[in-house]
Amino acid sequence: MNPAETVLLARYVRALCPQQKFDEYTPDAWHDVLGDYELQDCKQAAAEIARRQPWIAPAEIIDEVRRTRNGRLDYFQYEPTPGETGAEFTRNLRTQVAATIDGHRPPQLPYVGSSRPVLELTVGVGRDVPEPWETTTRIRSALDIVCPNPNCRAAARKPCRTPSGRRMAGYHGTRTDAARAA
C-alpha cells in the first residue's frame, strides 16, 4: 500500500468509526504499520472489525488481514502439471499458494474422467441399474425392525424396553430372531 492508499484507508476507517480521533499525522503512522498490506484487504478487515466494535486499531487490521489471507488457503489444493520436476513443483506450488493468498484462485484443470454415461458403463457389469422404487434395504441389526415382543413393541431404531418401561441393555430374543429371518 502506498501513502496515498493509506490516506484512503484512514478516511474509510474514520467513516466507519466517526468517534475515533484522527489527525493529519494518522495516515503517516498507519502507513508505517500497514504499508506491507494491500488496500482492499485492509478495507475488508476494517469493515469486519467495525461490525464487532466501535474502535479500530492498525494491529487489529493486521490480525484480520492475516486471518482472511490464511482462510483463503482452507480449500487450496495444488494442481501440478504432468511431468514436472522437483524444482518446478516447488516453484509452481509457491506461486499458486501466493496467488491464492492474494485472492486469485489458480485456474482449475479440465475434468479428464470418462464422458460416457453411467448406464453405458454398467452394461458390462452384468446387472441392471435398479430403479429408485426397486431399491431394497438391508437389515443390518435388530434395531432396524420393530420389536415383535407384545410387551415391548419398540419402534425401529428405538431400544427394547422391559415391562416396567426401563430401557434394556440388549434386545428381546424375538427381535433378534426376526432380524435374522428378515
- The stretch 9-20 carries a mean pLDDT of 92
Q: How large is the average pLDDT for residues 136-154?
A: 81
Residue 127 lies in a domain: no
Question: Are 11 and 59 contained in the same domain?
Answer: yes
pLDDT at site 114: 63
In a domain, 131, yes or no: no
Rounded mean pLDDT, 168-178: 86
Instruction: Decide which of 66 and 142 is more confident.
Output: 66
38 and 84 housed in the same domain: no
Q: Give the model's confidence band at 136: pLDDT under 50 very low, under 70 low, under 90 confident, else very high.
A: low
| Full residue range of the structural domain in which residue 149 is found | 138-182
DSSP for 30-66, written as a single string: HHHHHTTS-HHHHHHHHHHHHHH-S---HHHHHHHHH
Question: What whole-number distance in Å separates Cα of residue 6 and Cα of residue 46?
Answer: 13
What is the per-residue pLDDT for 89? 87
Amino acid 181: pLDDT: 83
Q: Is 96 within the bounds of a domain? A: yes
- 62 and 93 in one domain? no
Asked if 62 and 92 sit in the same domain, the reply is no
Residues 17 and 59 both lie in one domain: yes
Instruction: Note whether residue 148 is domain-resident.
Output: yes
> What pLDDT band is residue 10 in, cutting at 50, 70 and 90?
very high
Provide the number of structural domains found in the chain: 3
Same domain, 63 and 87: no
State the pLDDT confidence band at 42, using cuts at 50, 70 and 90: very high
The whole-number pLDDT of residue 7 equals 93
Same domain, 46 and 91: no
Which tens digits make up the pLDDT trace of 47-102?
Answer: 999 999 999 999 999 999 999 888 888 877 777 778 888 888 899 888 888 888 88
Rounded Cα distance between 129 and 127, Å, is 7
Mean pLDDT of the chain: 83
In a domain, residue 117? The reply is no
66 and 78 together in one domain: no
